[in-house]
Structure 1
Amino acid sequence: MDSAYRRSLHGAREGLHEVLEHDGGSVDPARVGEDLWALARLVDGNAVLARTLADPSREGSERAAITERLLSGKIGDGALHAAKATVSQRWSGVTDLATALERVSVEAQLVHAQRAGRLDQVEDELFRFSRIVESTPDLQSALGDRRAPVAAKRSLVERLLSVKAAPETVTLAAQAAVGVRGARVERTLVAYLEQAAELQDQVTAVVTTAIPLRPEQEESLRSTLSRQYGRTVHTNVVIDPDVVGGIRVEIGDEVIDGTVSHRLDQARRLMAG
């Protein structure tokens, strides 16, 4: 993410949070997120509209005014304010604008989950769903088929997710399946998880182990990692019997591999050398 895009996205997010914090937080973040997602899809699918709203030759205020003329009465007032704040930023092209609208729509859904006290649940459920998608080629194909109707993809996601899944999980998983810019669902889910961690000022660790960790073991690992990284660490645990024993921890590009399988591989390489 380059610095110019980052600055513009920061301005878009500020516009969103102005809406969500206005009047004591009375605006429904989920409704705002749904409206912004619909706009992201519209911009992604309408080249003329996209070029107009991302046109760098127009002032940001002019693009915001065009947005108001086009959308007033068609989406909620809160979403309209956030949309105007987003299009008024400077974007390098229509792809960046569609991406930014998607990101602010996702952030609104995550804020809704956070206010309801279930953001950690949403993170865990989205992570588990992403693992299912990654390990199931037929599911990847079904969700990645851009010719499939949006309603059909949402219905498939709803059937796959537990009836106990948070509503925001279902919404975000369905959004990832439908996608904008032709992005693969697996990569989109990873981006959503990164947003959830950022919203809570956390980093996420993927922990791979042969058997489930006991609650006290997982808490001890989180505490140790949080002290090491100076930030709260959220753990997503993957069970993989092939690691035999020990654990592997992945945080961003950093990998701490203490598994038995890794040590055996190292020993085999040494013996082969």
Structure 2
Amino acid sequence: MATETLHAASREALAAAEKRLDEVLRSDADPATLGTELLAVVGLLTRETGLRRAVAEGSSDPAARKGLVRRLLTGKAAEPALAVLEAAVGERWSSPRELVDGLESLGRSALLTSAEKAGNLEAVEDELFRIARIVDGEPELERALSDQTAPPETKRRLVHDLFAGKADGVTLALVEQLVERRKGRGIGFGLDRLVKLAAQRRERSVAYVTSASELSADQRDQLAGKLRGIYGRPIALHVEVDPRLRGGLVVRVGDEVIDGSVAGQLEALRRRLAA
């Protein structure tokens, strides 16, 4: 979740909750368990409208909101998760939805911290990219995972059946939670957001590269170096092969597209001739 989508009060609330999360993560808390429990609460609040409103009601006593969370979740979530949840609901959010968005951000951050500590963050980022491309290339799968009428558990089970044993546990947890709480744009967009979150943890921007053929390690290094020179920051390359390009590359960084493919050049020539 991008903090720029939050209103001012919610940005301040999220910053305070992130500070508490950092404190908890510096203790002996297991970040994978913490992230999983926070995202489980996101699922609970998404389903339970009345509870969501109760814990986000800014006009109520913050101590009462904290007490409600602790009474409901003691025994269902460990103390580190309870500490972060109390900090979050004790703040003033612009809306109940933005509280849930904030908790989602905290849960994802904890899971990515787990991957980072295990030395798997780059692998998780790449797995998220590969899953995004699979979903992009299979319209029926994208529809099944985006179907808001389907039970969330059915969609989670589909993700597990497809990718369990082929992806890191953090990757699976992030994707399962994404399909459970899909909102706004489609699953492919959500997966790309997760890729960017992982890249940001490595202090990199993401370049999506489509190549007519496989790139060697040297070619990837050279391309990353050139893009770093253009954009002034480290770049995480995610490459897929599409022979239809006939040759060359198409590179997308944010909203900017650099089309150096043969197919792109031919299309540009056709447009000029038709003008």
TM-score over 0.5 (shorter chain): yes
Deviation at 1:149, TM superposition (A): 4.2
1:16 aligns with 2:18: no
Quick one: distance in 1 between partners of 2:11 and 2:199? Answer: 17
Q: Does the 8 A contact of 1:143 with 1:177 survive in 2?
A: yes
| Matching residue's letter, 2:208 | V
CA-atom RMSD in angstroms: 2.0
Q: Which residue of 2 aligns with 1:144?
A: 146
SS of structure 2 residue aligned to 1:102: helix
Q: Which residue of 2 aligns with 1:107?
A: 109
Please report the TM-score for the alignment, with normalisation by the length of structure 1.
0.91
- Gaps spanning 5+ residues in structure 1: where? none
Q: Which residue of 2 aligns with 1:31?
A: 33
| Matching residue's letter, 2:138 | T
Please report the TM-score for the alignment, with normalisation by the length of structure 2.
0.90
- Quick one: which of 180, 193, 196 aligns to 1:194? 196
Q: Does the 8 A contact of 2:39 with 2:103 survive in 1?
A: yes
Q: Does the 8 A contact of 1:246 with 1:258 survive in 2?
A: yes
Quick one: distance in 2 between partners of 1:81 and 1:183? Answer: 32
Distance 1:243 1:6, change over 3 A: farther
Deviation at 1:114, TM superposition (A): 0.7
Quick one: distance in 2 between partners of 1:3 and 1:47? Answer: 21
SS of structure 2 residue aligned to 1:235: strand
Q: Which residue of 2 aligns with 1:246?
A: 248
- Quick one: which of 186, 192, 208 aligns to 1:184? 186
Which stretch of structure 1 is more off in the superposition, 187-196 or 93-102? 187-196
Q: Deviations over 1:147-189 (max 9, x none)?
A: 5444433332233226242111122121122225576322322
Q: What is the aligned length?
A: 270
Distance 1:162 1:50, change over 3 A: closer
Q: Deviations over 1:50-90 (max 9, x none)?
A: 11111121354543333223323321111111112222232
Quick one: distance in 1 between partners of 2:240 and 2:72? Answer: 46
Kindly, what percent of the aligned residue pairs are identical?
Answer: 37
Quick one: distance in 2 between partners of 1:220 and 1:35? Answer: 41
| Matching residue's letter, 1:199 | R
Q: Does the 8 A contact of 1:249 with 1:256 survive in 2?
A: yes
Q: Which residue of 1 aligns with 2:239?
A: 237
5 Å matches for 1:46-85? 46-85=48-87
1:269 aligns with 2:262: no
- Gaps spanning 5+ residues in structure 2: where? none
Q: Does the 8 A contact of 1:207 with 1:236 survive in 2?
A: yes
1:116 aligns with 2:118: yes
Q: Does the 8 A contact of 1:179 with 1:185 survive in 2?
A: no
| Matching residue's letter, 1:55 | E
Q: Does the 8 A contact of 1:98 with 1:180 survive in 2?
A: no
Q: Which residue of 2 aligns with 1:86?
A: 88
SS of structure 1 residue aligned to 2:60: coil
Q: Does the 8 A contact of 1:40 with 1:180 survive in 2?
A: no
Distance 1:73 1:211, change over 3 A: same
Quick one: distance in 1 between partners of 2:218 and 2:59? Answer: 57
| Matching residue's letter, 1:13 | E
Q: Deviations over 1:180-228 (max 9, x none)?
A: 5576322322222222122222111101111111111101111222233
| Matching residue's letter, 2:196 | E
